[in-house]
Amino acid sequence: MSDQETTILGEFLPYEEKIGESGNFIFVDAKEYIDAHKKTLDNYEKFWEELALELYWFRKPQKVLESVEKPYIYKWFSDGLINVSYLALDRNVKSGRKNKIAYIWEGEPVDKDGNPKEIKKLTYYELWREVNKASYILKSKFGLKKGDKIGIYLPMIPELPIFMLAAARLGIIFTVVFAGFTAENLATRLNDIKATLLITADGFYRRGKIIRLKDIADKALELSPSVKNVLVVRRIGLENLNMVEGRDYFFDELSKGVSPGVYVEPEKLESNETLYVLYTSGTTGKPKGIMHDHGGYSVLLHATMKWVFDIKDEDIHFCTADIGWVTGHSYIVFGPLIEGATSIMYEGAPDYPQPDRIWSIVERYGATILYTSPTLVRMLMKLGEDWVKKRDRSTLRIIHSVGEPINPSAWRWLYEVVGEKRCPVGSTWWMTETGGIMISHTPGFKLVHLKPGTNALPLPGVDVDVVDEKGNSMEPGKKGFLVIRRPWPGMPSWPDGIWGDYQRYVQVYWDKIKGLFFTGDWAIRDQDGYIWVLGRADEVLKVAGHRIGTYELESTLVSHKAVAEAAVVGYPDEVKGEVPVAFVSLKSGFSSSAELAEELKGWIRREFGPIAVPSQIFFVSRLPKTRSGKIMRRLLRALLEDKPLGDMTTLEDEAAVEEIKEAYERISKEIKRS
């Protein structure tokens, strides 16, 4: 991030008094925090054990961290028995939160005054009832049991967390697929996990349109032979659905016969039993199914809800993510519910029907915690302060962002405009693989002084470092790879880390820098010990915070009849952080044209999803490659950014100078033409 790098060893903020007053937060010096953090690492097993014992276990664990015969696979709390659905629901129902609101949900359509037409408030008791009913149907209608696998392809409606919790209750392993993904993406995931049931909805609202989700699911089902049944939630009441007899069922119809008092005993699961698999993009190959368990994952979420969000019973937690991504799994579903918090879910887009949608939600329900993303902030910033200012945000007390580096101007906007300098604002670093937040300001533990754009310090018990390729710690101010030195609860879980592909788990995360967990990010530690994550060191794109593999996009392009070869690189974008740009060479018989470029964009939209549509497509006669066949991506990136050839020779280590020169000149002419 350009303005981030310039302030990298930046100043502390001069004006933090207001934060102390309104949030009861006490700032500590980074040194004090670093000392406290070091103590947690000295005996980190004991430290995590104490946190684990704050949760309810059917059987308390005696063991904390255990290695198994497979290197880099660890078992946390292995002899403990637990169930995250029980923690999230039954514990709260039994301990005085029975009639506390668990979810406030609003749909997208509004009335003539601009207010949401549908608002649902589900208490813990109501949610518990719904989950029991859903579990009952999974069990008795579909015969599902512990260890079975299902896919959940639902929009942001209460049934999404309900089915996640219902599956967890029975020990059924689920994978949630983002409702913005296409049939092909859905099918890839269903096939990898071999799901036998798919749960979906008829449709949902997005920017005033109805998306017919079941129709998309139908296309995926043609490619997913393992799926035997489909359960359809009626969100809209759409006509003309293709309901296949004996395969497809409506949830509301199956629910009719279920007694409201139905109770399904939660499975007492071993801590390491798989809770879910969530697919995420890497540098090569198809998406990886990252595994998370019941025990360790719950412990990490419990800890981060306390430290990072300082969660209290009176809080209203508002995470603007979609549950289809890990942020929503951890901080809309499991984290807040384990803590018995009230949280907000909304259907639709953050700027529809008006750019104040987010702020109207904050105002309507008195949100106290806001967890959002830099892309969303930059988009709303552009629409002007007035949309924010006309809504009451005085209830907010903590703001965090996630998903990509936050540039200082976006940070300042959150701090000054949204939070009126009352709220600590942080940028929490973590990834699908870590399960929960790893680096952050921790208002609920010890709050260190703020710097715009930093991620701040590793969480207690988390051993993060910035290293060179041999694993040696970098000096302050020097860029290196972000790694995690010791196992942590919530890490990719037993038995394989990546669903069905232990080898790949080892290769991708542990072999790059032997014995350290390789995150794939660049980072710098500054002189105060603060960590600044700069972005990906590999070929993964972060488009509007969404993680997209260049390989997946390239394969989608190549599956078009006109395309011979494709290379995708990221190009900086003011709002989205970066956007994909594609270089394409065509098969003989096809020629480049503006129409074909549009057709290819439409192809990506349909086959991969709207989030990944390239901003530009350049037609080239050949892709620039090294002798070993590697695409010269850095050359392509340099060309896009209009950097001169002078510094090009150092860019691609495996290529000869002549080849680079030739490719540079040829492609720069070709892209000017297209």
Question: How many other CB atoms sit within 10 Å of the CB of residue 398?
Answer: 27
Q: Return the number of the residue (224 or 427) whose C-beta is nearest ligand WTA.
A: 427
SS3 360: helix
Cα–Cα distance list, 573 to 70, 197, 429, 578, 664 (Å): 42, 39, 21, 5, 23
Specify the residue for token string 């302030």.
Answer: 7
d(CA 103, CA 530): 35
DSSP state of 668: H
Strand partners for 522 = 481, 535
* CB 364, min distance to ligand WTA, A: 27
d(CA 22, CA 442): 16
**Count of residues near ligand WTA by CB under 6 A:** 23
> Judged by CB under 6 A, which of 123, 200, 442, 455 binds ligand WTA?
455
> Judged by CB under 6 A, which of 163, 309, 415, 429 binds ligand WTA?
429
Question: How many other CB atoms sit within 10 Å of the CB of residue 26?
Answer: 10
428 in contact with ligand WTA (CB under 6 A):
yes
301 in contact with ligand WTA (CB under 6 A):
no
DSSP state of 473: B
* CB 482, min distance to ligand WTA, A: 8
Q: Return the number of the residue (533 or 640) whose C-beta is nearest ligand WTA.
A: 533
Q: Whose CA is closest to 480, among 462, 494, 466? A: 466
d(CA 434, CA 543): 20
Q: Return the number of the residue (133 or 547) whose C-beta is nearest ligand WTA.
A: 547
Specify the residue for token string 């629409």.
Answer: 383
178 in contact with ligand WTA (CB under 6 A):
no
* CB 228, min distance to ligand WTA, A: 31
Q: Return the number of the residue (202 or 322) whose C-beta is nearest ligand WTA.
A: 322
Interacting span for ligand WTA (CB under 6 A) from 60-68, 408-416, 425-433, 624-632: 425-433
Side-chain-side CA neighbours of residue 412 (13 Å): 10
Q: What is the largest CA-CA distance in the chain?
A: 76
Q: Return the number of the residue (105 or 481) whose C-beta is nearest ligand WTA.
A: 481
> Judged by CB under 6 A, which of 192, 248, 270, 404 binds ligand WTA?
404
> Judged by CB under 6 A, which of 340, 405, 458, 461 binds ligand WTA?
405
Peptide bond into 495 cis (omega under 30): yes
* CB 597, min distance to ligand WTA, A: 28
| Binding mask of the shown chain, residues 64 to 103, with x at each position contacting ligand WTA by CB under 6 A | ----------------------------------------
Interacting span for ligand WTA (CB under 6 A) from 402-410, 558-566, 576-584, 611-619: 402-410
Q: Return the number of the residue (137 or 326) whose C-beta is nearest ligand WTA.
A: 326
Which residue type does 244 have?
V
Strand partners for 121 = 104
Structure tokens at 227: 């799926």
d(CA 309, CA 444): 7
Q: Return the number of the residue (6 or 24) whose C-beta is nearest ligand WTA.
A: 6
> Judged by CB under 6 A, which of 402, 567, 636, 660 binds ligand WTA?
402
Do the strands 616-619 and 577-586 form a parallel or antiparallel pair, or are they unpaired? parallel
Q: Return the number of the residue (497 or 624) whose C-beta is nearest ligand WTA.
A: 497
Q: Return the number of the residue (152 or 540) whose C-beta is nearest ligand WTA.
A: 540
Q: Return the number of the residue (199 or 543) whose C-beta is nearest ligand WTA.
A: 543
d(CA 482, CA 611): 27
Question: How many other CB atoms sit within 10 Å of the CB of residue 524?
Answer: 21
* CB 557, min distance to ligand WTA, A: 22
427 in contact with ligand WTA (CB under 6 A):
yes
* CB 405, min distance to ligand WTA, A: 4
432 in contact with ligand WTA (CB under 6 A):
yes
d(CA 495, CA 23): 42
Q: Return the number of the residue (325 or 551) whose C-beta is nearest ligand WTA.
A: 325
Measured in degrees and rounded to the nearest 5, phi and psi for residue 397 equal -130, -20
Structure tokens at 50: 């104490």
> Judged by CB under 6 A, which of 40, 132, 229, 280 binds ligand WTA?
280
Q: Return the number of the residue (236 or 611) whose C-beta is nearest ligand WTA.
A: 611
Burial code of 187-216, b = ≥16 C-beta within 10 A, e = fewer? bbbbbbbebbbbbbbbbbbbeeeebbbbeb
Specify the residue for token string 């999230």.
Answer: 88
41 in contact with ligand WTA (CB under 6 A):
no
* CB 374, min distance to ligand WTA, A: 8
- Footprint of ligand WTA on residues 606-625 (CB under 6 A)? none
Which helix H or strand E contains 569, and what residues bound it? strand 563-573
Interacting span for ligand WTA (CB under 6 A) from 56-64, 185-193, 398-406, 631-639: 398-406
403 in contact with ligand WTA (CB under 6 A):
yes
Interacting span for ligand WTA (CB under 6 A) from 123-131, 396-404, 412-420, 588-596: 396-404
Q: Return the number of the residue (422 or 547) whose C-beta is nearest ligand WTA.
A: 547
| Binding mask of the shown chain, residues 516 to 535, with x at each position contacting ligand WTA by CB under 6 A | ---xxx-----------x-x
480 in contact with ligand WTA (CB under 6 A):
no
Strand partners for 110 = 116
d(CA 576, CA 572): 8
> Judged by CB under 6 A, which of 431, 564, 586, 611 binds ligand WTA?
431
d(CA 651, CA 631): 12
Measured in degrees and rounded to the nearest 5, phi and psi for residue 586 equal -100, 155
- Footprint of ligand WTA on residues 185-224 (CB under 6 A)? none
Contact 265, 46 (CB under 8 A): no
Contact 548, 612 (CB under 8 A): yes
Q: Return the number of the residue (248 or 322) whose C-beta is nearest ligand WTA.
A: 322
Q: Return the number of the residue (542 or 625) whose C-beta is nearest ligand WTA.
A: 542
* CB 654, min distance to ligand WTA, A: 25
| Binding mask of the shown chain, residues 313 to 352, with x at each position contacting ligand WTA by CB under 6 A | ------------xxx-------------------------
Cα–Cα distance list, 242 to 154, 183, 218, 565 (Å): 17, 15, 8, 37
DSSP state of 329: I
* CB 285, min distance to ligand WTA, A: 16
d(CA 382, CA 586): 38
Contact 348, 206 (CB under 8 A): yes
Q: Return the number of the residue (512 or 542) whose C-beta is nearest ligand WTA.
A: 542
Q: Return the number of the residue (241 or 534) whose C-beta is nearest ligand WTA.
A: 534
> Judged by CB under 6 A, which of 25, 251, 430, 445 binds ligand WTA?
430
- Footprint of ligand WTA on residues 534-593 (CB under 6 A)? 535-536, 542, 547
Question: How many other CB atoms sit within 10 Å of the CB of residue 145?
Answer: 12
Measured in degrees and rounded to the nearest 5, phi and psi for residue 140 equal -85, -35
The full length of the chain comes to 674
Site residues (CB under 6 A) for ligand WTA?
Answer: 280, 325-327, 402-405, 427-432, 455, 519-521, 533, 535-536, 542, 547
